[in-house]
Amino acid sequence: MRKLFVAITVASTLVASIASAFDPADLKTLKETNECIECDLTLIDLSDENLSGANLSKTDLTNAYLVGANLSNTKLAEAIMADTDLTQANLSKAYLFKANLTKANLTEADLTEANLSHANLPYTNLSGATLSKATLSKATLSNANLSDANLSDTFMMGAILCNTTMPDGSVIYSGC
């Protein structure tokens, strides 16, 4: 019985520490200055927040929740956004150069005129996203889902599209 109690206590402590993984001081800096460079915002919930024009370059947003957030004109260069939920987020004109969006959910996100050059987007869900006039040059989109996405006037020179599902449902094998 004592072993079970110890196991439950350890598990509860681990879950509590994981649930509050971001640094509260970094969140305070972001809210006060609209800037947080190289911050730890892992697992944070900023859904529906207005972060327009913020500078989050090199910030770790792994497993963050940014559903419906306004990130227009936001600097996210080299940000780590793996497994981040950006469903219906506004990322228009966002600067995501070399950002890591592995397995991110960008379903129905607005990425109009966003710069995703050299971004890492393997296994990313971009279904229904608007990428009109976006730049995806040399981006890695291996195994990404672009079904029903708007790619009008999107610049994709040198992009890796290995096993990528395109808006019409076809699968591209370029760069495999």
166 inside domain: yes
CATH code of the domain containing 175: 2.160.20.80
49 inside domain: yes
Task: Write the pLDDT tens digit of every residue in 69-117.
Answer: 999 999 999 999 999 999 999 999 999 999 999 999 999 999 999 999 9
Tokens standing for residue 24: 């509260």
Q: Which residues neighbour 109 within 8 Å (Cβ) at sequence distance 6 or greater?
A: 86, 87, 88, 89, 90, 91, 126, 129, 130
8 inside domain: no
92 inside domain: yes
26 inside domain: no
Tally of structural domains, the chain = 1
85 inside domain: yes
42 inside domain: yes
Q: Which residues pair with 90 in a beta bridge?
A: 70, 110
Question: Stretch 137-149: mean pLDDT, rounded?
Answer: 98
170 lies in which domain range? 35-176
**Residue 20 pLDDT level (bands cut at 50, 70, 90):** low
129 inside domain: yes
Question: Stretch 122-146: mean pLDDT, rounded?
Answer: 98
In this prediction the pTM is 0.87
Q: Which residues pair with 125 in a beta bridge?
A: 105, 145
